[in-house]
A and B are shown apart, each in its own frame.
Chain A
Amino acid sequence: DVKVTQSSRYLVKRTGEKVFLECVQDMDHENMFWYRQDPGLGLRLIYFSYDVKMKEKGDIPEGYSVSREKKERFSLILESASTNQTSMYLCASSHRGDTGELFFGEGSRLTVL
């Protein structure tokens, strides 16, 4: 069974803390994505990676960075968490090519106090 696994389902952090969200896929996908999902706004792309060590900014990269050192792993980093980063974070992966089906992880709900 194909899988995208996110390291934490629920996190509570304090303002200013550094936060790591990890995502691992077992499908040998080239593309990996980080989205955030907020009520009424739908999914918004934070960062996208199409290969190891390659990354592209999405629509809302401010306040975030990413790391892709291995093909199967894509990490999202919040250098200094703020309350407006409280959200559901979704990782996804797909094969190269724009018709590639997106496979999502279960999501990480982050609350920043």
Chain B
Amino acid sequence: KNQVEQSPQSLIILEGKNCTLQCNYTVSPFSNLRWYKQDTGRGPVSLTIMTFSENTKSNGRYTATLDADTKQSSLHITASQLSDSASYICVVSEQTGANNLFFGTGTRLTVIP
């Protein structure tokens, strides 16, 4: 069964600290993995998309890694800011079509001053 699991469910960190969010998946055949940021009450916004051949991708202070062998991805946030407080959603695409996306339930990050 195709699944995407994220950990932790929630996380509280101090402003300026780093953190790492995890995503494990069983989706096969794999096409790509995406990380989205969703502010409270808003729609998700794409941070990164990685295909099978990419093992790291950065977007400013956000760095995503992908290990396609172990089917694991992480999102590392450096020097966190209050505006990083949001839910972070991992989405894995199956090769069979555009509508075959599998969503994790997200990690709720709270950055406190």
Residues of A within 8 A of B (CB): 4, 31, 33, 40-45, 48, 50, 56, 58, 90, 92, 94, 96-107, 109
Instruction: Please report whether the interface of chain A is mostly helix, strand, loop or mixed according to DSSP.
Output: strand
User: 20 pairs across A/B with beta carbons < 8 Å?
Assistant: A31-B98, A42-B89, A42-B103, A42-B105, A43-B89, A45-B101, A48-B99, A58-B99, A90-B43, A98-B32, A98-B100, A99-B49, A101-B34, A102-B34, A102-B36, A105-B43, A106-B42, A106-B43, A107-B42, A109-B41
Known: A31-B99, A104-B43. 5 other contacts (CB 8 A): A42-B104, A44-B103, A94-B98, A98-B100, A104-B45
By Cβ-Cβ distance, the 10 closest A-B pairs, closest first, are A104-B43, A42-B105, A48-B99, A42-B103, A43-B103, A106-B43, A98-B98, A104-B44, A98-B31, A107-B43
